[in-house]
Structure 1
Amino acid sequence: MKPLLILPICLLTLAACREEAAPEPNIVRGMKSHLVTASPNVEMRRFPAVLEPSEITALSFEAAGSLEAVNLSVGQRVAAGETLATLDKTTLELQVASAEAGVDQARSNARNADDTLARQRALLESGTVTRAAVEQAEVQADAAAAQLVQAEKSLETARENLGKAELTAPYDGIISTVEATSFATVGAGSPIATMYPDDSFEVSFSVNFDTVGQLVVGTPARVRLADRPDTTLSAVVSEIGARADAVSSFPIVLSLTETHPVIRAGMAVEAAIILPAPRADGFAIPLSAVIRDGRVEGDGDGIMSVYVFDPDTSRVARRDVTVGGIRENMIVVLDGLNEGDRIASAGVSFLKDGQEVRLLDAGE
């Protein structure tokens, strides 16, 4: 009989243990939250681009001649007035000397012609020569005077050319290209080098028809350096193309309004422009706040769910919201939320409707 009593006793013991087991503790989960605020009626559009100088100046001599050694390199910084290249002055000095001799000769000829004219006029009064001889002397004196003026102009030009034997930088800038080689013979106007100012840059890119219609000259923008993402510079729209350079692609130019020591022409950048948002209503919330089992209806507005925090009970309640799209990696909620609501912004898959939570600080 003893074995038959064992089973009832064990069952009673298990039931007693089950009744005496302590209830599970109420776990309060920490929750990161997002405060719902009014969504701005603008959006940031970003465009890849390349930093370019706002202007490139071609440098050349105004006089022909032979170059001396050219000590320029691409990327070299130069100051305004700095000598960049020099012509051999030997030939130019000879031209000045020749022009000076020409002036002396023309001055002597003019003086002799004036003396001859004076004698012919005196002889005409005494009746020794004819009026035709005097007129011939006048013509020769006028020709000699004109030759003197021409010789003086030639001397002035030769001296100016000698003074232009040095090619100087017109402003502070950076050498972009070097076109000439040392000791080469160059003509007047032949390109020697190009340079651009070190404090004036621009970026250009293309936008579609809808975007170009929202821009005006003077629209503010920001330019971020791809190689230095922490460096951003202010800019403004300076040019808007009225004609597409490709199908529905219109050129836009931004001019930087500030500079930085690290920027160089040719650097990759990201241009950002603030434009009116497609929809002015709604609230922007993080993508992580959406409960993943929500539904989207077609291509229009969709119904999704979020957890809304109740400060009176410290609990979250699931609420359906109407969304109208994505803006700047944020979901735009058109209906279902009010300004000032606080929603769960992370870990929503671990929450449930009515669960008690504790708001986490920003650093937690």
Structure 2
Amino acid sequence: MLRHALPRAVPLCLVVLLSACGQQEPAKISITPAMVVQPQPSALANQSYPGEVRARFDPQLAFRIGGKVSKRLVDEGERVKANQPLAELDPQDVRLQLDATRAQVAAAQANLNLVRAERDRYKTLLDRQMVSRSQFDNAENLYRSGEARLQQIKAEQDVASNQASYAVLRAPQDGVIAQRQVEVGQVVSAGQTVFTLAADGEREVLISLPEQDFGRFKIGLPVSVELWSQPGQRFSGRIRELSPSADPKSRTFAARIAFTAGKVPAELGQSARVFIQSEGHSQLSVPLSALTAENGAPYVWRVGQGNKIEQVPVRVGPFGENTVPVLEGLNADDWIVAAGVHVLHPGQEVRPIDRSNRTINISAKD
């Protein structure tokens, strides 16, 4: 009897199992989160150039006469005051020249006294008609010649006295010795640079502009400056000076950037970056991670209506370190998927989030 009941029980169990499977709920499709960003101004429109903080005035100091350096009184980096002695030349030669001119002044003064007395005697004799007029005129001319000679020698004495003072090189104003190019015992010529003084006061940033981009810049162009010691903080400035010729070695053009933001905590020698907004450039840029390609054609994923993504072909410029400029294909208010683009497919619904993992309601942004 058990043998006859088993065949009937097995089909009944199968029916119960199949009916139970049919009652399970279908699995929900999960929506993939996607980090999105909006295109930013391209680096081509806001290029940065490394630079160094310099003094607004940095005169090159030199002796006005030549000679042998006998004393060096300051070192590089030392702060100096106006009229402070910086270096001295051996004064022996200029002192001998000064002594020689003093002796010449004394001789000229004695000669003038002699011809003056001679002229006075001839004038007395002329009044008594004991000498001719020509003899008196000759004595008068000798007196005038002696007087002019004395004035000439006194002028030469003043020059020699000035040269004696030129043997001491003094600071023209307060500042810091930026460079030193002389040592004790060195023979220098007149006008040869001995020190470079970074004068107190305004500070600037010196940058080098590439030859191919030089024509895009002009004096007065507004820029922004970021000091390496204060990252993230930018100070307004402008191009104050552009070199008219390229450096023969680097083939770059020097440019000086003046601060226009008032007092800036910039110290000599600090590194800085200068951001220049070039005219005529309005391209956008996206992160490198947002760009992908198919058959050599680049594209990005744009989030559209209903948070569904679509493939957007773009034309790009030269790749940067972290971004790539987009020349055509995007608008500034588009939302672009910035990560995981290789696993997406057209029409896929995503959950847009920002870099802080916060959900973005793109429909509300439009």
Q: TM-score, normalised by structure 1?
A: 0.70
CA distance in 2 between partners of 1:339 and 1:187 (Å)? 62
1:70 Cα deviation from its structure 2 partner:
0.6
Report what 1:321 is aligned to. 312
1:148 Cα deviation from its structure 2 partner:
1.7
1:58 aligns with 2:70: no
One-letter amino acid of the structure 2 residue matched with residue 205 of structure 1: L
Contact 1:82 1:169 survives alignment (8 Å): yes
When structure 1 is superposed on structure 2, of 184-193 and 162-171 the one drifting more is 184-193
CA distance in 2 between partners of 1:57 and 1:305 (Å)? 54
1:61-80 aligned at under 5 Å gives the runs: 61-63=63-65, 67-80=69-82
1:202-217 aligned at under 5 Å gives the runs: 202-208=206-212, 211-217=213-219
Distance 1:338 1:94, change over 3 A: closer
Report what 1:346 is aligned to. 339
CA distance in 2 between partners of 1:40 and 1:286 (Å)? 11
Structure 2, gaps ≥5 residues long: 358-366
Q: How many residues align?
A: 344
1:146 aligns with 2:148: yes
CA distance in 1 between partners of 2:180 and 2:288 (Å)? 53
One-letter amino acid of the structure 2 residue matched with residue 15 of structure 1: L
1:1-364 aligned at under 5 Å gives the runs: 1=3, 8=11, 11-12=14-15, 14-35=17-38, 43-47=45-49, 57-63=59-65, 67-87=69-89, 96=98, 99-131=101-133, 133-182=135-184, 188-197=190-199, 199-208=203-212, 211-222=213-224, 234-236=237-239, 238-239=241-242, 241=244, 251-258=252-259, 260-264=265-269, 271-276=274-279, 284-289=285-290, 292=292, 294=294, 296-297=296-297, 304=299, 306-310=301-305, 315-326=306-317, 329-330=323-324, 332=326, 334-335=328-329, 340-349=333-342, 357-360=350-353, 362-364=355-357
Distance 1:190 1:153, change over 3 A: same
Percent identity (aligned) = 22
Contact 2:54 2:268 survives alignment (8 Å): no
Distance 1:244 1:9, change over 3 A: farther
Contact 1:64 1:188 survives alignment (8 Å): yes
When structure 1 is superposed on structure 2, of 168-177 and 106-115 the one drifting more is 168-177
Distance 1:6 1:347, change over 3 A: farther
CA distance in 1 between partners of 2:43 and 2:208 (Å)? 26
One-letter amino acid of the structure 1 residue matched with residue 209 of structure 2: F
Contact 2:243 2:254 survives alignment (8 Å): yes
CA distance in 2 between partners of 1:228 and 1:47 (Å)? 16
Contact 2:55 2:268 survives alignment (8 Å): no
1:229 Cα deviation from its structure 2 partner:
5.8
One-letter amino acid of the structure 2 residue matched with residue 160 of structure 1: N
Contact 1:240 1:251 survives alignment (8 Å): no
Structure 1, gaps ≥5 residues long: none
Q: CA RMSD in A?
A: 4.5
Distance 1:117 1:362, change over 3 A: same
Q: TM-score, normalised by structure 2?
A: 0.70
Distance 1:203 1:334, change over 3 A: closer
One-letter amino acid of the structure 2 residue matched with residue 170 of structure 1: P
Secondary structure at the aligned position of 1:110 is classed as: helix
Contact 2:300 2:336 survives alignment (8 Å): no
